[in-house]
Structure 1
Amino acid sequence: MNIIILGAGGVGGYFGARLLAAGHTVAFVARGAHLEALQTDGLHVKHPSFEFEQNIKAFDLESLLDVEANSFDLIILTTKSTATREVAMKLAQWLRNQMHPPYILSLQNGVENEAILCDYFAEEYVIGGLTRKIGAHVVKPAHIEAVGTAETIIGMMHVTMENERFLEELSLVFKQAGIPTQTTYDIKQELWKKLVINNGVNALCALLRVKTGVLFDKSSLCDVVYGLMQETAHAARSLHVKISQEDVDAMFNLIKQFDSIKPSMLVDLEQGRALEIEEICGVVIRALHQIGVDAPYTKTIKALLEFTMEQ
């Protein structure tokens, strides 16, 4: 496949390296010092079971838009959720005359990215996705360190015979590249399951400046994590997304047993980047507010984190 990784940070760089090593053509979109280092020094990825060091094709977004679009099969979007609409607008302009545009796979945090993409692209070309059991971060420009298996779930936003075949092909491509992948007919449910984890630990770790493992060393913090996860599940059900109590318990145990990592929000805080607070916490609060239900755990953590950032 001919693939674009749009947002070549930790997860994007890891996926791109795996796909390149498996023989696919991959172009990376990045910015700033990270982009400059990718262009001059190549991409370096270190994982307990995989190491990669190679010169690559890397562009900024504006330069990519000067390239012919019809040669690409897939765009993997791994930017921050805060950038989704801006990126979608630029891609839509780039792809406006394409009879068969590339598919767009979102591997971002949050549950609203796919709907935003569907505002700009035909639903049958939009793929929802998530990856879990992965910690991947840029430790210095062009250098990425990762742990975990990167279990990935993908699903079409609108299924047709043609795109169902593409989805199965993509799943096989990922598996052969060392990324365990499964497909689903209900990607919204899977995205909300991941949000159960993200809302449970992401903002709390950023607030306390600790890795995930620290949260599970104290029963009082465990209770807060569980309360955050319960609110997320309630929010999902308010939007007619089926998240059961068993799902909440499974997600709680999954993150509790996984390697202690710095979630993305903590890394962003340390590096002075914008946080995905609205995309992770805000969506839970808004969904529950619409049915007249409070979200005390999520509202408290969100308010405290925003306050500390202003100091």
Structure 2
Amino acid sequence: MKVIIIGAGGAIGSCLSGWLSEVSQDIYLFDKPSVSEVLKEKGITYYKQNEAKQNVKVKVIDSLSEVENPDLIAIVVKNYSLDGVSGLIKETVKGNPVILGLQNGVENQRILPKYFDRVVYGIIEFNAWLDEIGIVGYQNRGPFVIGTLDNGMQAELKAIAELFNKGVETIITDRITDAAYCKMVINLTNSFTTLVGMGYRDITNLHAFKEILTNSMYEGVKILKKMGVKEYKAHTMPTWAKIKASATLPNFITDGMFKKNLAKMVLSSMAQDIIQRKSGESELESLIGEFVSLGDRYGMDIPYNRAVYKLCKEKFNRHPFVPMTEEEVLAEVRKLQNK
């Protein structure tokens, strides 16, 4: 199977590129020139958190047209780049390859079908981060969860899973939209942790931080239940019952587990965009913005997500970005609650 990975220099793209390049000679990486040059020279070095590093030599292409009739194109870019990348594929790639969209959220389910008729969607159930171009760390080696909207293309799904499973755990599901929405609940934390600069400043008020983080996710769960989404349980994500317990039980019961989980948290992809890369672009609209819109549609009271969304819209476009404190964010939540 000839595979092109677009966005090979990002955190998830680097992981996928490194893992697959170890097990197949037909993996071709594509990214912008400044990234491609580094990958050509140094390859990809990956490591599991607190473990030894491994380096993999990779094949990098300068144009998508270099690979004739690829079987699969894995698009590992953020939603805000998806239209542009899709247009480039249509212009330069011959044949009718399967397209694998690996993005957070469900916006890719609206964008990719405009360009392609053979689309597989993937959910990323692990965390990864870039130390620099070509050097990536991760917490767990997968899994990816893949599926199609109509549960068609079973042969293609099995072929992708067979290849991917040689390098990273990959699971086929017949509930890809449920899985995407459930992962979005976890991604709701990205906006808040970026807003308060987690990883760049000390969290000084644990209970304020915990209240906002856990209630943001619990509001998300309540929206999904209202929509009729069924819980998709993945072993790398907290269950809805645990999310509810964290948000509603007294601190003396939940503090211990929360502190343990907090210690495992790494820099989110949104923080990598806003704080690390100092970019004004992020997945704000396609993640928490999507949930705020759903809250409006279903007439739901979601003060935590509304406050965080409002503040992120105000702060993320300011240069330099200056994180807020968790107390300042909670004060905005209280204003909405007291209206």
Instruction: Decide whether the 8 Å contact of 1:107 with 1:130 is kept in 2.
Output: yes
- Could you tell me which residue of structure 1 aligns to residue 115 of structure 2? 120
Letter in 2 for 1:6: I
Q: Which has the higher strand share?
A: 1
Letter in 2 for 1:292: G
* Structure 1 SS opposite 2:110: helix
Of the three residues 214, 226, 237, the one matched with 2:214 is: 226
Q: Give the unaligned 5+ runs of structure 2.
A: 247-256, 319-339
Partners in 2 of 1:251 and 1:59 — Cα distance? Answer: 43
Residues 88 and 38 of structure 1: CA distance in aligned 2, closer, same or farther (over 3 Å): same
- Could you tell me which residue of structure 2 aligns to residue 236 of structure 1? 224
- Could you tell me which residue of structure 2 aligns to residue 102 of structure 1? 97
* Structure 2 SS opposite 1:188: helix
Instruction: Decide whether the 8 Å contact of 1:35 with 1:142 is kept in 2.
Output: no
Partners in 1 of 2:45 and 2:35 — Cα distance? Answer: 11
Of the three residues 272, 278, 291, the one matched with 2:278 is: 272
Residues 132 and 242 of structure 1: CA distance in aligned 2, closer, same or farther (over 3 Å): same
Per-residue deviation at 1:154? 0.8
* Structure 2 SS opposite 1:176: coil
- Could you tell me which residue of structure 2 aligns to residue 154 of structure 1? 146
- Could you tell me which residue of structure 1 aligns to residue 76 of structure 2? 78
Question: Among the aligned pairs, what percent are the same residue?
Answer: 23
- Does residue 198 of structure 2 align to residue 210 of structure 1? yes
Per-residue deviation at 1:130? 1.0
- Does residue 2 of structure 2 align to residue 2 of structure 1? yes
Partners in 2 of 1:2 and 1:50 — Cα distance? Answer: 30
Instruction: Decide whether the 8 Å contact of 2:104 with 2:124 is kept in 1.
Output: no
Instruction: Decide whether the 8 Å contact of 1:193 with 1:247 is kept in 2.
Output: no
What does the per-residue CA deviation read over 1:160-194, in whole Å, with 9 as the maximum and x for residues that have no partner? 3xx202212322322221x1221111100001111
Moved more, 146-155 or 41-50: 41-50
Per-residue deviation at 1:219? 3.5
Partners in 2 of 1:83 and 1:204 — Cα distance? Answer: 22
Per-residue deviation at 1:293? 2.8
Larger Rg: 2
- Could you tell me which residue of structure 1 aligns to residue 313 of structure 2? 306
Letter in 1 for 2:175: D
- Could you tell me which residue of structure 1 aligns to residue 240 of structure 2? 248
What does the per-residue CA deviation read over 1:223-246, in whole Å, with 9 as the maximum and x for residues that have no partner? 222221122223334544224999
Partners in 1 of 2:109 and 2:35 — Cα distance? Answer: 26
Partners in 1 of 2:221 and 2:274 — Cα distance? Answer: 26
Partners in 2 of 1:76 and 1:51 — Cα distance? Answer: 25
Letter in 2 for 1:165: A
Instruction: Decide whether the 8 Å contact of 1:33 with 1:141 is kept in 2.
Output: no
Instruction: Decide whether the 8 Å contact of 1:38 with 1:142 is kept in 2.
Output: yes
Q: TM-score, normalised by structure 1?
A: 0.84
Partners in 2 of 1:173 and 1:38 — Cα distance? Answer: 22
* Structure 2 SS opposite 1:109: coil
Letter in 2 for 1:113: N
Q: Give the unaligned 5+ runs of structure 1.
A: none
What does the per-residue CA deviation read over 1:16-40, in whole Å, with 9 as the maximum and x for residues that have no partner? 1111111242111112532221123
Per-residue deviation at 1:247? 4.1
- Could you tell me which residue of structure 2 aligns to residue 15 of structure 1? 16
Of the three residues 92, 110, 130, the one matched with 1:138 is: 130
Q: TM-score, normalised by structure 2?
A: 0.78
- Could you tell me which residue of structure 2 aligns to residue 194 of structure 1? 183
Letter in 2 for 1:298: N
What does the per-residue CA deviation read over 1:204-234, in whole Å, with 9 as the maximum and x for residues that have no partner? 110111149x88x933322222221122223
Partners in 1 of 2:265 and 2:214 — Cα distance? Answer: 17
Moved more, 147-156 or 236-245: 236-245
Partners in 2 of 1:68 and 1:260 — Cα distance? Answer: 38
Of the three residues 154, 174, 197, the one matched with 2:164 is: 174
Partners in 1 of 2:184 and 2:169 — Cα distance? Answer: 20
> How many residues were matched structurally?
296
Moved more, 239-248 or 32-41: 239-248
